[in-house]
Amino acid sequence: MRRHNIWVALAFLLSLQACVHIRLDSQLPPIDRMIARSLSDEVVKGLKYKRSDIVYDKMENAFRSATSLSDFEIIFNQLLDRFGVPLNCEYSREEETVKSYPSGEVKRLLKLYYDVETTKYPKGSYYLSIDVVPEGDGLAVTGVYFGRPLFH
């Protein structure tokens, strides 16, 4: 039953973090790509060294308000159990889009992609993406995902 509750909570949190792809609005503040890259690289290091606290601290305030560190550690460990711990991560590309929140707020989003080799999968089996949004005077992470390349 506890495992079921964790998956329901994870699905709920991911639905709150849903990203809507709409045309980029020139009114949205730009994202400094170098700072975003540095932030995403810190998250990658947190994954590599199994440091959920590092990743949690980089998440946006809305996520941290809805999710305690102890709940996040469960999700973090499930992610690493499923996909393995990253061994080698090579930055490959980025994609700019927007994120729409349930409140109606819209933010520019930069999705940074890494080719990844993990303890469970060879390079090319999955990619890692880190989603970064503006927050206050800085940037924050709004999502960390493993995905399958279209062609591998």
DSSP code of 85?
Answer: -
CA distance 145 to 32: 21
Report phi then psi at 78, rounded to 5.
Answer: -65, -40
Prediction pTM value: 0.81
Instruction: List domains and CATH numbers for the chain.
Output: 2-147 (3.10.450.590)
Q: What are the structure tokens assigned to 113, written together? A: 């992609």
Quote the distance between the C-alpha of residue 68 and its chain's center. Answer: 17
CA distance 131 to 91: 13
Instruction: Calculate helix-pair angle for 69-83, 2-16, nearest 10 degrees.
Output: 100
pLDDT string in tens for the chain (152-residue length): 555 455 545 444 444 444 443 455 568 888 999 999 999 999 999 999 999 999 999 999 999 999 999 999 999 999 999 999 999 999 999 999 999 989 999 999 999 999 999 999 999 999 999 999 999 999 999 999 999 987 65
pLDDT reported for residue 65: 95
